[in-house]
Structure 1
Amino acid sequence: MVHTGNLLATLSALGYALASEAMLETRQNDPCAKIGGQQWVNPADLRACFTSFPLDPALQENIIDVLNKTMAFHVSVNYQISAPEPFTNDVHEDLLKDFARIKAQSYDSEYDMHVDIQNSINRLRDGHCFWSYNCFDCAFVYTNFLPIFLVQIVDASGTQTVNIAAESYNVSSVEFADQIDVWEAALPDGITLESLNGATVLSIDGKDPLIAADTNAETNGHLQGLGTRQNVFFASYQRGQTGWNYVLGDFAQQSLPRSDSVTLEIQRVNQPKTETVTIPYRARRGINPANLTDTASWRAGFCLNPTSDTFIKSYPDTKITREITKKFQQQSPMPPASFRDIVSAVPNDLTDAAFPPSLAPPAQNLPGEFGFGEFFMLEDGVTGVLAFGSFAGDTLEAQERGLLDGLNGLKSKGAKQLIVDVTNNGGGSVCIAHFLHRILVGPKDTTVPQAILDTKIRAGPLAKLIVKAIIENNTDPDVQALFNPARWTNASDVPFAPNFDFMDPAVDEVINGVPDAFSQRIGAECPDSGGWDVELPDEPLFEGPNVVIVSNGLCASSCGLFSIPMVKREGARTVVVGGRQGVNQQYTGTVGGQSLNGFNMFAEALNAGLVDNPLNQPILLVQGLIGITWRSAFGIDDPTQPEEWQDHSADLNLPLTAETVNNPLAIWNEVAKRMFS
């Protein structure tokens, strides 16, 4: 006789077993379920998930259509077909031609098309112009990591080598504490991660390590100069918003799961023979693992935009679009109608780690410290330092007060000369770039009414219609629209009349054989003596020749709009640290004038009543963001052409040694000795 309780228990166990078997089969058949919920995964498993999404032809057409119509506002698209010297060999990408190819091409998966789009845009070498898609890209999903970081140093004989950073294990054991055991287990017997510190790297995957840096420079985008794109392969530092950051470098992180492992031929410190180690890449989740458990949740949560009427009516002001923009566009919080809210910044979408305390400059707690800014006095008693990691991240008032108080504080301590360290500064507020220049050198004809550069906007057909709609239909009475003439001044810095069409007539040009058109010249956009939260000094704090600007070359956007006028108009000098010997180092790149994105352009058309115009982009079906340069700055040496394509060669390429690499204080002391003695 079978007891009822035993029967129920048996049936329950059987049901659980069948359900578990079904779940197991689902996980085996669903490559995204295989990695669902895991913090760390193998890159091969991540690629299997990504490449399992078949490409919907409607989605392919939608993405390319949105890209094409957004690029109608990108001011540099025809310049980038073949950039002028000195960047002709670096920038030669016909993006619209590539988009046409991609639209007609068949792909095995949606991921394969995404990689093709990113590679094409990256060839522009323009950090303002990018395509990011939540479904695959690191800021929202996974980043590929290695536990070792590379540097370029010179020895006593002047020979430059590639080495594993001496601080590698100190950084990785903190940042990747939950994964170190996996990497240790992959190493040969007798070799630990810590024992790799300082090792000389003789080859990477069988090739000279410099070849690997050059290969990365072909695909990492962001800046025009070859020297800077080589430099970002290596580890560096940045003054972050709450302290010092260790920037891992492109060797140690990949935004997509492109590689499974790397094989290095090395010579460890105090070891007589060369050794070979193979280290696996590991992909780490950048968001809550519980959100993604299988293909369906992945696609719904991070790939596709909702298609409901509620979403469409609120686009682009939705949580999805705000979160995407927040990740990739640096901007200081401020009222949206502010005339000081103009931003020029390149995306910062990779991971920084905690800076080793042994390398961080000892805090001096001088007046003025704010977010990305900190002040120091060197032991010589006459050299002050402003470490400035970003022109964004704080309110404008905090930056203004911090900069003015900090620089005055240095003066009061006896500083007669100034080092401005802008290493890995990707830009931010355009008007803070003007503000810093203005308070450094005082009121003069190069700073009043503005220190930054005049600009132009691309006068495409839809842009012209938006301006006309604002003027003729009064679609922007509160002067919120970017295309509103009331926001801008002319070449003489006189405000445009509210009914002045600054795109009619357009300035017609032929660029690389392609007819193009631009707005009339746009002048001052930031306050001079009024409109700030602080009172500007009447006298210079530091004359231009007494200022040296230091970086690894990655000083972009608003950082460039500060550095270039300081150098070319005021006589400031520049140092790029750690660049490859024999390669020209540019102290800035990706200058632009104002960076925006596709959501901004959609909103402009929407507010002008042109949302249904066939020239306007359709609703983007995926959770992506398209970055553009909306305004381009005119040059100083050649004021008829964009500053973007003019030379910014550094005065000094300072080699790094084992004692100075990634040691800001040691670098500043060396710069002071070489540049001010």
Structure 2
Amino acid sequence: MKIIQVHSKFNIYLILFVTLLVIVLPPSTAKISCNEVSSALKKNKSVEYNDLKKCLESFPFNAKLATDTVDAVLHFLSSYYVFFDRAKEDPPSGFTYQPVDLKKELSSLRSSLRETPPNSDYDFSTTLRNIIFKLKDGHTNVFNLCYQRFNYDQGLSLYSVVTTDKNKKKKQVLDDTVDSSNNNCEVIEIGGKPALQAIIDFANDTIQYSKDLDVRFNMALAPSQPRFLRQFFQQFTLREDLPETSSIKYNLTCPKKGSVNFERKWIITYNDGFDGFSFNCLEQNNQTAFSLNDNSASSDKVTKLTSRDKITSSTLNNEPKIAHAQKLDGGSLYLLNDESKTGVLVISEEKVKDEKGLKYNFQELKNNGTKKIILDMSNNPGGDITFTLFLTSLLFSSKQPNSFPTDIIINDFTIPKIEKNFKSNSTDPDDDDLYNPKLFLSFPFGSPFNSSSEFIGTRKKRTSNLYLNTLTPDEKKLLENVSFPWTSDDIIIITNGFCASACALITLYLSEVHKVRTIAVGGRFDSQMSFSTYPGGQVTSPNVIADYAGDNITDVPGINPLSLTVREAYSFDENNNVKDVLEYSYKPADCRLYYDEKNIIDPSLLWLEASKILNNEIKC
């Protein structure tokens, strides 16, 4: 270092001024980092972790925008989030999560914005996001349109299997399925921790999509059927939030190589679900922000970064191997290659437009002489709520309700909307409008509401007459002249726990009301596990609910879109008495299977095991 001798006060002031310039001009360094990120994206290369971190943290904190954002989030959650009060309570036995007092935590965040402002807009957004994440409600989250558009990939597929060692004891094994030289290696340590504990800690602290730790454990690892929505799976090695470190160290024990240690950097790409790439995060707020686009380049020259599958050899999107079942259609209907005459129907999501195909699938199983049915609903993110009514009515037509009762929050300003909708002569109401009594039937008899006051009821802040959706005329027509030979004893449900939203309502209803048996696959060894997750009832966004409710606050400002659960579903007993809130009811599966090195790749092996349980050849 060169030493400069100072001879005057002027020189001292000059040096102090230059030093201050260095302190107050960090954007120049950030701009370099943002340019490096932009350059890597245009060359279709992985972004350097430190460059992206500096870039993300370079956007200045906007106190007014942050305060308005917190106020709006608190308003919508306190006004419409059906679990706002319930979230503060301790979890029921079987669930693992922390109680969340949303009012207290969001109010505390708002106060801290004045007292100890965050260093950047990124820090604020991350803090807000983490508060919502603690709810472990897959329907309710905040997604920043700037900071959650990157994929962070380790280039590994880890999965958990249960094997038997020479002493006939069970143990958990994590396997690397991407680097062929590491195949079938046991992962001993991850980041200096025992491997199993590292995954459990990550599932506990980071994954938001289930209140059941075992389901989150499955989601941290690679799924058994890897063709579905990747954002819900392999979350330990494939993330959407900036990881805390630039790399992770692994220690393996391999059959041929012995002990292996390596450090894996994150492969950072941009989510190609969006057109182009820009990072003008604060321009809409009249702020000056660095752009990761090269302004000198025309829009057709801005390269959209490829997804992880074009950069790594990941097997995430490969079709699973099906060696022990015969395919009957394009990919969702199978007959097992044994003598049980057991059919398998894979339901990967719930869409009203698929209801005709669903009826056809059951008809095909009937035509093929199928005696038993396995419903594989693993890796199912949900869908249309009326699909649940259709499926249960298709299999078990009866006079009892065909779905769980549900409820919503009522506010003073929503009551006039309900009254107006009831008086309306509109023949084509919006089927998402929670405040239109004509779209619903009262529980349990399925009768239309006679008045708006009957729908509103007398309970404080809640509708008193719990209600369910009506089937559409087209759905009712599809259900005409339907007759299938199967009883509850002829059907079994198998999932890896991630059967969410509408899928959860279906499986819970078939299990609770019709006593269909259930199987959960994976999770931690020797623990009970849910077969479904977040059955809340219905998810929506603030702008939608505000429009229907007539709210004078129309949305969350800025670039932090909020989604939230606005209906809650309840279980009920044989006398149709409403019981528990399903979102906060622990419902473990009747039976349990585990992944191994073979069935993790070929789910038909799991179907064979499920068939043995279904046909009472083995007990759970």
Question: Any conservation in 1 of the 2:227–2:317 contact (CA below 8 Å)?
Answer: no
Alignment counterpart, residue 590 of structure 1, candidates 534, 549, 561: 534
Instruction: Please state if 1:431 is matched with 2:416.
Output: no
1:204-254, CA deviations, whole angstroms, 9 ceiling, x for partnerless residues?
Answer: 11111222222222221111112111111110144757xx98975111111
Other-structure match for 1:452: 403
Q: Answer yes or no: is 1:236 the counterpart of 2:223.
A: yes
Equivalent AA in structure 2 for residue 445 of structure 1: K
1:386 aligned partner: 345
Once residues 629 and 35 of structure 1 are traced to their aligned partners in structure 2, the CA distance between those partners, rounded to angstroms, is: 36
> Partners of 1:161 and 1:89 in 2: how far apart?
20
The answer for the alignment partner of 2:306 in structure 1 is none
- Residue 321 of structure 2, aligned match among 359, 375, 380: 359
Structure 2: stretches of 5+ with no match in the other structure = 1-26, 288-312
- Residue from 93, 109, 127 that aligns with 2:120: 109
Q: CA deviation at 1:445?
A: 3.1
Q: 1:262 to 1:90 in 2, by over 3 A?
A: same
Q: Is the 8 A contact 1:550 1:574 kept in 2?
A: yes
Task: Structure 1 unaligned segments of length 5 or more: list them.
Answer: 1-24, 170-192, 308-350, 509-516, 612-616
Deviations 1:494-521 (A, max 9, x none): 212464462252x13xxxxxxxx21122
Kept after mapping to 2: 8 A contact 1:66/1:620? yes
Structure 1 residue matching 2:579: 3-state secondary structure: coil
Distance 2:231 2:172 in 1: 21
| Aligned counterpart in structure 2 of residue 630 of structure 1, from 563, 566, 570 | 566
Instruction: Indicate the residue corresponding to 1:483 in structure 2.
Output: 435
Match 1:278 to one of 259, 263, 271: 263
Cα gap change, 1:579/1:29 in structure 2, threshold over 3 Å: closer, same or farther?
closer
Superposed, 1:176-575 pairs within 5 Å as 193-217=179-203, 218-238=205-225, 240=227, 249-258=234-243, 259-271=245-257, 273-287=258-272, 291-292=276-277, 297-300=280-283, 304=284, 354-356=316-318, 359-360=321-322, 364-367=326-329, 369=330, 373-392=332-351, 396-397=352-353, 399-441=354-396, 443-446=397-400, 450-468=401-419, 470=421, 479-480=429-430, 481-491=433-443, 492-497=445-450, 499-500=452-453, 502-505=455-458, 507-508=459-460, 517-527=461-471, 531-532=475-476, 534-575=478-519
Note if contact 1:27-1:34 (Cα within 8 Å) is conserved in structure 2: no
Q: Which amino acid aligns with 1:643?
A: L
- Contact (CA 8 Å) 1:235, 1:246: kept in 2 or not? no
SS at match of 1:641: strand
Q: Secondary structure of 1:114's partner?
A: helix
Q: Deviations over 1:162-209 (max 9, x none)?
A: 3224xx22xxxxxxxxxxxxxxxxxxxxxxx32012210001111112
SS in structure 2 opposite 1:276? strand
Aligned partner of residue 420 in structure 1, secondary structure: strand
Q: Cα gap change, 1:111/1:663 in structure 2, threshold over 3 Å: closer, same or farther?
A: same
Among residues 101, 120, 138, which one is paired with 1:127 in the alignment? 138
Percent identity of equivalent pairs: 20
Provide the C-alpha distance between the structure 2 equivalents of 1:289 and 1:463, rounded to a whole number of angstroms: 36
CA deviations over 1:54-83 (Å, ceiling 9, x no partner): 110111012112211211201011111114
Number of equivalent positions: 545
Secondary structure at the aligned position of 2:106 is classed as helix
Secondary structure, counterpart of 2:220 in structure 1: coil
1:428 partner amino acid? G
The secondary structure found in structure 2 opposite 1:223 is: coil
Q: Per the alignment, do residues 42 and 568 of structure 1 end up closer, same or farther by CA in structure 2, a change over 3 Å counting? A: same
| 1:464–1:299 CA distance, 2 compared to 1 (3 A) | same
Instruction: Find the residue that maps to 1:274 and give its secondary structure.
Output: strand
The 3-state SS of whatever aligns with 2:467 is coil
> Relative to structure 2, which stretch is displaced further, 549-558 or 79-88?
79-88
Q: Can you list the C-alpha shifts for 1:41-61, whole angstroms capped at 9, x where unaligned?
A: 122221211111111011101
Asked whether the equivalents of residues 502 and 519 of structure 1 are also in contact (C-alpha less than 8 Å), the reply is yes
Q: Which moved more, 1:43-52 or 1:479-488?
A: 479-488
Q: Relative to structure 1, is the Cα distance of residues 390 and 110 closer, same or farther in structure 2, using a 3 angstrom cutoff?
A: same
The aligned amino acid for 1:31 is S
Q: Do the aligned residues in 1 keep the contact of 2:321 with 2:602 (CA within 8 Å)?
A: yes
Instruction: Tell me the secondary structure at the aligned position of residue 563 of structure 2.
Output: strand
Deviation at 1:128, TM superposition (A): 0.8
- What CA distance in whole angstroms lies between the structure 2 residues aligned with 1:636 and 1:563? 15
Q: Given the two structures, how large is their TM-score scaled by the length of structure 1?
A: 0.74
TM-score with structure 2 setting the length: 0.81
Indicate conservation of the 8 Å contact 2:454/2:465, yes or no: no
Deviation at 1:664, TM superposition (A): 0.9
Whether the aligned pair in 2 keeps the contact of 1:144 and 1:257 (CA below 8 Å) is yes
Kept in 2, the 8 Å contact 1:592–1:633? The answer is: yes
2 CA distance for matches of 1:48 and 1:361? Answer: 49
Preserved CA contact (<8 Å) 1:66 1:618: no
Give the SS at the match of 2:360.
Answer: helix
2:372–2:490 contact (8 Å) kept in structure 1: yes
Give 3-state SS (helix, strand or coil) of 2:355's partner.
Answer: helix
The Cα shift of 1:88 comes to 6.2
Structure 2 counterparts to residues 649-664 of structure 1, below 5 A: 649-664=588-603
SS of residue matched to 2:564 = strand
The counterpart of 2:61, out of the listed 30, 52, 55, is: 55
What RMSD, in angstroms, separates the aligned Cα atoms of the two structures? 3.0
* Structure 2 CA distance for partners of 1:289 and 1:93, relative to 1, 3 Å: closer
Q: Of 621, 644, 665, which aligns to 2:583?
A: 644
3-state SS of paired residue (2:386) = helix
Distance 1:164 1:88 in 2: 27
Aligned residues of 1:529 and 1:535 also touching (Cα < 8 A): no
Secondary structure in 2 matching 1:426: coil
CA contact (8 A) 2:226 2:317 kept: no
| CA gap 1:290/1:444 in 2 versus in 1, 3 angstroms | closer
The residue aligned with 1:316 is none
Structure 1 range deviating more: 29-38 or 58-67: 29-38
CA distance in 1, matches of 2:253, 2:213: 28
CA distance in 2, matches of 1:649, 1:248: 21
